Chains A and B, each alone.
Chain A
Amino acid sequence: MTGPVWQVFRFELRRNLRRRTWQLAAIAVPLLALLVLEGAQGLNPDGALPGVNLPGITAPGPGSSGNGQRGLVDETGLFPGADDLQLFADEAAASLALERGDISSWYHIPGDYPESGVVYQLMPSLNLSEMSRGAIRRHILTSLADELDSSLLARLERPLRLTVLREKELGPTRGPGPGGARDELALLVIYPFVMALMFSLFMTSGYLLQGVIEEKETRVIEILLSTLRPGQLFAGKVLAYGTLGLMQLLFWLAGILLVLQRLPLQGALAALAQFVLPEGALPLMLVYFVLAYLLFASAYGILGALSASMREGPQFAVIFTLPAVIPLWVSTAFIEAPGSPLVLALSLFPLTAPLAMLQRVLISAVPAWQIALSILLLLLCSAVLMWLAGRLFRVQTLLSGRMPRLGELPGLLRG
Chain B
Amino acid sequence: MKRESRGDESVEGLGPELGKLWDSAPVPKAPPWFATRTLARIRREESRVGVWFGLPRWVFIGFGAAVLAVGWLRWEREPALGDEEVFAALDAMVEEERENRWWAGL
Q: Do A and B come from one complex?
A: no
